[in-house]
Each structure stands twice: as C-alpha cells, then as structure tokens.
Structure 1
Amino acid sequence: MTETERVRIDGVRAVSVPVTDQDRAVEFYGGTLGFETRLDEPLEQLGGRWIEMAPPGNGISIALTPADERAPSGVDTGIRFTTPDAAALHAALQAGGVDVDPLLQWEGTPPMFDFRDPDGNVLYVSQTP
C-alpha cells in the first residue's frame, strides 16, 4: 500500500450551514424538514454547539454552526437535497410558511426548487429521478 492510498479521503461526514440561532435552526431542520439530530454537544471554541442533523437514514449530516465574520449566515449553501415528490414537498413547505421559490419543471429534468432556512441560507431540492 502506498502512502497516498493510506491517507486518502474516504467520505463526507457533514456540510456546514452557518446559523445565527442554533435553537431556531434545530427547530427548523428537525421540526419543519424532519431531520434527526445526530450530535449536539457544547463546543466553546465555536461560541456555541456542534450540531449535526440529517434526513433519517442518510449518511451525510448538516452541521448547524454558529455564524461569524468568517462564515456569515444568509449564503447560497450549494446543498442539494432529494425527495421522491418535489411538488408535494414544495406545497408542504410553502403551506408551513417556508420561503420557497417556484417549482421548476422542464421536460427531461426532475422537478426542483430552492428555499431558504430562517437565516436566509439557500438550499435546493430536486426530485429523485
């Protein structure tokens, strides 16, 4: 085994989303989106907690980290979630008061939309092909 083979990256654990109020973010990601809490521990170095949440059964978590000058909230996260029914999820989020953009549907492309969490962080959803 070469040195490169021993030190390779073998996965993604979490993707960070900066938030201004971690309790509010936990309520949104857990209560509104249905994510489960994987980890919630004090982390003084961050000025808050290390919180990881994920859709049930999913291997990659969203880390809800305290926003600061280096990582402000209200950003385009680039995170793309999947769902078996984009139209139904879009309608449910919109009915729940979530800031969602129109459902996009183009021939040959899965339906998709974007939405914002309470801090204005942009997240995306597309229907599982």
Structure 2
Amino acid sequence: MTTFGALFRGINVVSISVTDLDRARAFYGEVLGFGPPLYDLPEAGWIEFSSGAAGGNVSVTLAESSWTPSAGMTLVLNVEDCHAAVDELRRRGVQCEDAQVFPGFVTFASFYDPFGNRLQMCSPA
C-alpha cells in the first residue's frame, strides 16, 4: 500500500481562478506584495508568483477562466501579526474581516480578492 508521503512529493502550485488577469496581477503582485511574477503568460491565461520570499516553495498561480468565486478552497498565508496585517490590507483598500483569536493556538482573518475569492492569513495567537 502506498502512503500519501510516498506518493506525493509536496505541493507545486495553488491555482486561483480569476476573470481578469490585469486586475489579478495588480492585486496579487502589488496590493498583496507578491512581487513580479515568475511567469506571466496572458496568452495562456496564466500568471505565476513564487511564495519563496514568504518562506515557502509553493507557487501561487492565477488562471483566467469564466467562473464563480471559489467556496471550497482557501489559500492561507502566514503573517507576523494578523491584527496589523488586517489594518494594512484595509489601508490598501482590501475587503478584510476582523481578526479572530483562538487563545493558545492561532489568530486568523479572512480577506477577499477583487473576484470574490476568500483568502486567509494567520499568525500565532
């Protein structure tokens, strides 16, 4: 029997559906600060950002499609201070919910991209 660890070697890409690559590039690259894309292929409907600067090796991809906002998948990003990150994202015009604290575990908050996709951020409690 093959175990999960023996079969899969990690996560390569997390793909987020968007309807407008230009708006998505600006939001993820500039507003969220993911920086310049690793790959920017508008003719293929694909923009890929590295999360390497944030301490990971999973790429975040924006894939253009006609769709409705996701409800089942949530990208969760690590931040140093969730409360401060909420304030900063709101300053940048991002729709952001108040941070929730689970004492002794985690502080997290949901926020939304221009297409209605829910993302989250978390920090220590």
Tell me whether the two structures share a fold, i.e. TM-score over 0.5. Answer: yes
Retained in 2: the 8 A contact 1:52–1:61?
yes
Q: Which 4+ runs in 1 deviate beyond 3 A?
A: none
Please state how far the C-alpha of 1:28 moved relative to its aligned partner: 0.5
TM-score normalised by L of structure 1: 0.80
Retained in 2: the 8 A contact 1:17–1:73?
no
**Residues 34-113 of structure 1 mapped to structure 2, 5 A cutoff:** 34-36=33-35, 37-44=37-44, 48=45, 50-55=46-51, 56=53, 57-68=55-66, 72-76=67-71, 77-113=73-109
User: What do you get for the CA RMSD once the two structures are aligned?
Assistant: 2.2
Please state how far the C-alpha of 1:106 moved relative to its aligned partner: 2.7
**More strand by proportion, 1 or 2?**
1
Q: What count of residue pairs does the alignment treat as equivalent?
A: 118
- Structure 1 gap ranges (5+): none
Q: Percent identity?
A: 32
Please state how far the C-alpha of 1:9 moved relative to its aligned partner: 2.4
- Structure 2 gap ranges (5+): none
Query: Larger radius of gyration, structure 1 or 2?
Result: 1
SS in structure 1 of the partner of residue 38 of structure 2? strand
**Alignment match, 2:123:** 127
